[in-house]
Amino acid sequence: MEILGCVLPEDRRYDLEHDVWWAEEPADGTARVGMLATLVAFAGPFRWFSFRPVEGVVGRGRSVATAESVRYTGAVRLPVDARVVERNEALVGRPRLLNDAPYTDGWVVRVRPERREDPERLLEDAAHVAARLEERIRTQRIRCWPLTPEVELAEIGLECSAVLVKLNEALALRSAGEAVLLVTDDPTSPIEMYRWSDETGHSVLARRREGNLFQFLVRKEADPKPRRPRP
């Protein structure tokens, strides 16, 4: 399921109060817990992650980890009473996994619920949280993208040629594989951006329009291959 561009997998349950998902591991009765993609998109690129040294049964709503981005610091909280049986240690060295793969490799902990009936009793499936999540996305102006941008470049009132100069300068400061979100009000930008991509070999991963503003998610390629020569 997708809600206003934000993915919401239907194979797990959700706790919107704590912004976490719960995916059962049927083989052994455990479950993986991770952060909602909407929270991840709101937070932006994560820079730091740490687990709390918890033992025994951790109560519902209690923190098992803390994540920090440029504009967000918050705890990852359990949606039911449970024991932590495994931590995703990869997150400590690479917090961006939370952004890059929030529903797969970016899981936080694997737990065993204290009462087997609690997940079904306390958590909701995707269909039941969809309307509330949509309202949250609209209210908080959350924008989910296929790759979390490292920086947002808002160039309003400039002609597209000047905008592209600014974009090239911003990309020069980024590492290969990183993304820049370009926001412009130039009405020719939808055509000019794809021409720019052909000429530079860097990718336009996604685009949106909101009112008179155009948004483009651009990825810097490690080995850009232009598809047409620059004029």
pLDDT digits (tens, 9 = 90+) for 167-220: 999 999 999 999 999 999 999 999 999 999 999 999 999 999 999 999 999 999
DSSP for 157-212? S--HHHHHHHHHHHHHTSPTT-EEEEEE--TTHHHHHHHHHHHH--EEEEEEEETT
Q: Are residues 69 and 178 in the same domain?
A: no
Q: Are residues 127 and 157 in the same domain?
A: no
Last residue of a domain, one of 113, 140, 167: 140
Number of Cβ atoms within 10 Å of the Cβ of 72: 13
Q: Are residues 163 and 111 in the same domain?
A: no
Which of 180, 173, 172 lies closest to 152, judged by CA?
A: 180
Q: Which residues pair with 183 in a beta bridge?
A: 154, 215
Q: Which domain holds residue 133?
A: 2-140
Does residue 231 lie within any of the structural domains? no
Question: pLDDT over 70 for what percent of the chain?
Answer: 98
Number of domains the chain is built from: 2
Does residue 132 lie within any of the structural domains? yes
Q: In what order do the strands lie in the sheet with 82-87?
A: 57-58, 82-87, 109-113, 30-35, 20-25, 13-15, 124-125
Q: What's the rounded Cα separation, in Å, for the pair 208 and 5?
A: 10
Does residue 116 lie within any of the structural domains? yes
Does residue 226 lie within any of the structural domains? no
> Are 68 and 46 spatial neighbours (Cβ–Cβ below 8 Å)?
yes
Q: What is the pLDDT of residue 99?
A: 95
Q: Are residues 130 and 168 in the same domain?
A: no
Give me the chain's average pLDDT, please.
95
Q: Are residues 90 and 158 in the same domain?
A: no
Q: Are residues 12 and 94 in the same domain?
A: yes
Does residue 228 lie within any of the structural domains? no
Mean pLDDT along residues 17-43: 96
Q: What is the pLDDT of residue 21?
A: 98
Q: What is the pLDDT of residue 227?
A: 81
Mean pLDDT along residues 135-142: 95
Q: Are residues 33 and 93 in the same domain?
A: yes
CATH number, residue 130:
2.40.50.100
Mean pLDDT along residues 156-165: 93
Q: Are residues 164 and 131 in the same domain?
A: no
pLDDT band of residue 70 (cuts 50, 70, 90) is confident
Question: pLDDT over 90 for what percent of the chain?
Answer: 95
Does residue 131 lie within any of the structural domains? yes
Structure token pair of residue 66: 């803390």
Q: Are residues 20 and 131 in the same domain?
A: yes
Mean pLDDT along residues 43-70: 96
CATH number, residue 184:
3.30.110.40
Does residue 38 lie within any of the structural domains? yes
Last residue of a domain, one of 93, 109, 140: 140
Q: What is the pLDDT of residue 198?
A: 95
Per-residue pLDDT at 228 exceeds 90: no
Which of 36, 16, 49, 21 lies closest to 111, judged by CA?
A: 21
